[in-house]
Chains A and B, each alone.
Chain A
């Protein structure tokens, strides 16, 4: 039986340079080490974001997806949005206008759903072959 897991919303600090990114990563590391972590980073406060900060976000997403979880971004400040666009990373993250929306988006995702959909996708493939 699949039970709902908590969605953790974390507010990202105003400055996300190398030093701050390391500190933030240490803070969220225990959350990333959970089984199937469901994380939302709220970037509404972010005013300065550099390549180290972007790298940290990618690292967190990689770690989350390794454990079958996901990381979503919410309430992006214009500054954060511009830097993510500039580094071509905005397309890698799922972004939401508010943290609540991002948290709600997790409820539609259950790992068992992938297994349920899998036979269907096989059927579609066999139909295509017949066609």
Chain B
């Protein structure tokens, strides 16, 4: 491998240092959403959801900046989940879905006033396009619009539009970037592409990031090889984290829980006692209850999308899936109210409350003999530690 000043870099690292002249006169318009039917999870554009500590939208913003484009306008049809520092240095606008594309056209016109061309990227797909190369090819071809396509000729919503081609740009944006009648030159990219059309694609992107097939890297400290932990995350000493795994900032992983096989817990999410998170993505501010098993799923905003069953289920039971609050004051208030409720209950149960009927029933159900066991030929079955009936009882109370 050439470690000098040549082009070859380790896999996953891309040289984003285009010459200053290459991107001079280029501005960028980043569109988030614009499709109401797809690319959403729980009403949120997938591009706004976190992947290993940072949302796809902010990662794309960083990527465009790294290519030397400093003037960027962002237009979204949904407000971001939380403010982030990098949003301050660019114009961020939220438009209602019905006027999203007309607003996009307005933004394009504003950006094209003092520039040579405008890079229009819609998220949508996470596409690792070399923008410098695309702009260079656009200049050489002399075409009004150049569109990027993946290595298997899949059209991507990444365009370079000449500022002088206002009519074509207007037609393209009014057609929601889907109008096939407009003549566009194609730029083939060989970078990583993930269409992010559904929740399962988010999972694929996470696993690809762990496998270093993409430029995305986990935002956190690598505590052990393959285990990244964000700022302020709390992991119980009896919890088990199996690499590769990502525990985001402010997350809580409680006693006897297991996080394994490429799972990611995004910021301020919680995994309660004895819960297993296996090959799953837990979205920000999500609390997973005790004794559960989350397997091959995307969990968040009180919803579970099972990749195994290909089904999305809304969970309204806060014992299973709930939303947490990221604010310290709200967490303190919740903890205080829980404590004030818990302590008197414990004292009452210890000193005053008689044995409840439920406890007596539970004990009797464990001790009484099964009708089948009473029979003489099956007396040997009594010596077996767990009959079918007892197993159910054990599981039930084990969950509690």
A residues with a Cβ closer than 8 A to B are: 17, 48, 50-52, 55, 58, 61-62, 65-68, 78-79, 81-83, 85-89, 92, 111, 114-115, 118
Query: A78 near B309 (CB under 8 angstroms)?
Result: yes
Nearest residue, chain B, Cβ from A93: B392
B309 and A85: CB pair below 8 A?
A: yes
What is the number of residues of chain B that contact chain A, defined by CB distance less than 8 Å?
33
Q: Which of B295-344 contact A (CB under 8 A)?
A: 295, 304, 306, 308-311, 313-317, 319-320
Distance in angstroms between the alpha carbons of A65 and B393 in the assembled complex: 11
**How far is the CB of A20 from the nearest CB of chain B, in Å?**
12
Q: Are A50 and B388 in contact (CB under 8 A)?
A: no
- By a beta-carbon cutoff of 8 Å, the part of chain B in contact with chain A is 291-295, 304, 306, 308-311, 313-317, 319-320, 365, 370-372, 375, 377-378, 388-389, 391-393, 395-396, 399
A82 in contact with B306 given A62-B393, A65-B392, A88-B291 (CB within 8 Å): yes
- Asked if B320 and A87 sit within 8 Å, CB to CB, the answer is yes
Query: Contacts A51-B319, A118-B378; is A81 near B371 (CB within 8 Å)?
Result: no
Task: From the candidates B320, B365, B393, B395, name the one contacting A86 in the complex (CB within 8 A).
Answer: B320
9 other A-B residue contacts (CB within 8 Å) besides A87-B399, A115-B378: A48-B316, A51-B320, A62-B389, A65-B388, A68-B371, A82-B311, A85-B306, A86-B293, A86-B320
**Docked pose: A48 CA to B311 CA in angstroms:** 13
8 A-B pairs within 8 Å (CB atoms) are namely: A61-B392, A66-B371, A78-B313, A79-B311, A85-B293, A85-B309, A86-B294, A115-B378
For the complex formed, measure the closest distance between the CB of A45 and the CB atoms of chain B, giving whole angstroms: 15
The answer to whether B311 and A114 have CB atoms under 8 Å apart is no
Q: In whole angstroms, what is the CA distance A9 to B275 when docked?
A: 33
Residue B309 contacts which of A48, A62, A82 (CB distance < 8 angstroms)? Answer: A82
Tally of contacts, chain A with chain B, CB under 8 A: 84
A81-B309 contact given A89-B395, A115-B377, A118-B377, CB 8 Å threshold: yes
Contact B396 A78 (CB under 8 A): no
Chain B residue contacts of A89, Cβ below 8 A: 395
- Minimum CB–CB distance from A121 to chain B (whole Å) comes to 9
* Interface residues of chain A: helix, strand, loop or mixed (majority): helix
A68 contact from B293, B309, B372, B391, Cβ within 8 A: B372
Contact A83 B377, beta carbon cutoff 8 Å: no
Q: Which residues of B contact A87 (CB under 8 A)?
A: 291-293, 320, 399
A51 vs B295: C-alpha distance when bound (angstroms): 18
B308 vs chain A, min Cβ distance (A)? 7
Q: Which residues of A contact B365 (CB under 8 A)?
A: 62, 66
Q: Nearest chain-A residue to B299 (Cβ)?
A: A86
Find chain B residues with CB under 8 A from A118 CB: 377-378
| Max chain B Cβ within 10 angstroms of own Cβ: one of A51, A62, A67 | A51
Q: Which residues of B contact A17 (CB under 8 A)?
A: 316-317
A115 to B375, CA, bound (A): 10
Contact across chains for B315 and A83 when beta carbons are under 8 A apart: yes
- Who on chain B is nearest to A70 by CB? B388
Return chain B residues, CB-CB under 8 Å to A67: 371
Q: Could you tell me the distance between the alpha carbons of A64 and B145 in the complex, rounded to whole angstroms? A: 70
How far does the Cβ of B224 sit from chain A's closest Cβ, in whole Å? 28
Given the interface pairs A48-B314, A50-B316, the reply to whether A85 lies near B377 with Cβ below 8 Å is: no
